[in-house]
Amino acid sequence: MLGSHLIKLIDCLNTVVNNPSASPGPDARQGARFALRADLLDFTAAPAWATTALDAASPAVRWRPDHWLLVEDGRIAGALPGATPPGDDWLKLDQRGRLLLPGFIDSHVHCPQLDVIASHGTGLLDWLNTYTFPAEQRFADPTVAAEGAARFLDALLAHGTTAAMVFPTVHKVSAQALFEAAAVRGMRLVTGKVLMDRHAPPGLVDDVVQAQTDCEDLIQRHHGQGRNSYAVTVRFAATSTPAQLAMAGALCQRHRSVYLQTHVAETLDEVRWIAELFPQARSYLDVYHQHGLLHERSVLAHGIWLDDTDRALLAQTGAHIAHSPSSNLFLGSGLFDWPAALAHQHGVSLASDVGGGTSLSMQRTMADAYKVQALRGQRLSAWTALHSATLGAAQALRLDHEIGHLSQGAVADLALWDWAVGPVAQHRDAVARGAVAGLPAQELHARVFAWLTLADERNLVASLVAGSLRQGRLDTPVP
């Protein structure tokens, strides 16, 4: 039975969902304390590559079945076994039988490309010219930018993604719109105006002086404001002149806490083009290094066509790769060598890279990552995949003090999931649980792997940002 306090809370939460712009933000419920009962799963460290055991071989996996997660003032206050609930002064949301994870982190995704997701028939460079660049020109219009930002962030939340590193467009207003929309929702967002001053249509090029002015203004207005952070955003080396790359490097020098995001070594055609444009550079990655763009807040999408010297440079500088398997498969770009990244000890996070990627779902992204490694003769574990979309991504982004896990003190960015939706997944989950007569229960990894392979946004029950419900409902019965 729902107590009156609980009904009031749920009404309040659902009001926020129905009209997110009416919410003043994550502190709207200052003083609120509630407990969510579910199966809690997160990580305390990086699990060993390809390890599927839960126990001694993978102490990094923290599995707390049927627990209460305590949330107070938007932060995680602790956890208790299901049989020992917190006191009467805690609102209790009994969601037992569901899976509670830290909200996913999508470390590389393009807001304006929702317009071109699932476009047929081209590789990267043609795809940019045919689909992406025309779509991005629309974002010069402040109304299009604002509507696009709201649609995009709500779509992330509807996929259980509560934090993201995002490419807008070259237009200052497109970055501004994302910062403002994220602030309304209380989301952790990293973004910045795209820099591109060559090899793009006239409506999509800036120049060095104006770009620098715009970046400085956006940094001053938004970087470090609430949960917004600025990223110096170089589209890729081909679309910036050496002068603009140098300006971007100077921005990173001047503002040590800003991020850098770009693409690197996605396709062989692109790598050949970069070699022609920058003949003095040892490699594609070296172009960025020479311009001061590799540091511990640098996030480079793809990194498929790197060599070991590049990988050592990533580790040395603290930069990391946002692996985007769905995009790599869809555009036919190549197969990321994850074991080589591990061998060189540089960070790897997971990313949807929509619209090259075909889904904002991080489960589908993880499933695609498994398939990419399978094509390389490797077997990615569910633990490594999930870690790279939660704690691993948070660590790579230097945000693990805030997000990516369910430890006391972390911001309560959470996603609540159904274990299975539809008859096939429900049967598979029942097999894993040992609920099918004559079949023994399987170990936890088998159940979680089946979940991430079969699940998507249909499994989402609710997304919470800093303890506030932003998508879904918390009063639906467990199927």
Size of site (CB under 5 A) for Zn ion:
2
Of 41 and 166, CB closest to Zn ion: 166
Q: How far is the CB of 266 from Zn ion (least distance, A)?
A: 8
Report the chain's C-alpha Rg in angstroms: 22
Closer by beta carbon to Zn ion, 229 or else 352:
352
Q: Nearest residue to Zn ion, using CB?
A: 353
Give residues with Cβ within 8 angstroms of 363, minimum separation 6: 451, 452, 453, 455, 456, 459
Instruction: Name the minimum Å distance from CB 224 to Zn ion.
Output: 25
Can you read off the two tokens belonging to residue 121? 């028939």
Minimal distance in Å, beta carbon 353 to Zn ion? 5
Between β-strands 348-350 and 320-323, what pairing exists: parallel, antiparallel or unpaired? parallel
Q: How far is the CB of 146 from Zn ion (least distance, A)?
A: 22
**Which residue number, 108 or 171, has a Cβ lying nearer to Zn ion?**
108
Nearer to Zn ion, 197 or 353 (CB): 353
Closer of 109 and 218 to Zn ion (Cβ): 109
Please, which residue, 116 or 450, has the CB nearer to Zn ion?
A: 116
| Six token digits for residue 436 | 């099918």
Q: How far is the CB of 104 from Zn ion (least distance, A)?
A: 17
Q: How far is the CB of 439 from Zn ion (least distance, A)?
A: 43
> For Zn ion, which residue of 197, 353, 402, 413 counts as binding (CB under 5 A)?
353
Please name which of 146, 220, 228, 231 lies closest in space to residue 183, comparing C-alpha atoms: 228
Compare residues 166 and 452 and give the one whose CB is closer to Zn ion.
Answer: 166
Residue 413 within binding range of Zn ion, rule CB under 5 A: no
| Largest distance between two CA atoms of the chain | 71
Q: Interface residues for Zn ion in 291-350 (CB under 5 A)? A: 301
> Which x/- pattern over 202-241 shows residues binding Zn ion (rule: CB under 5 A)?
----------------------------------------
CB of 380 to Zn ion, least distance (A): 21
Q: 259 near 298, Cβ under 8 Å?
A: yes
Task: Catalog residues that contact Zn ion under the rule CB under 5 A.
Answer: 301, 353
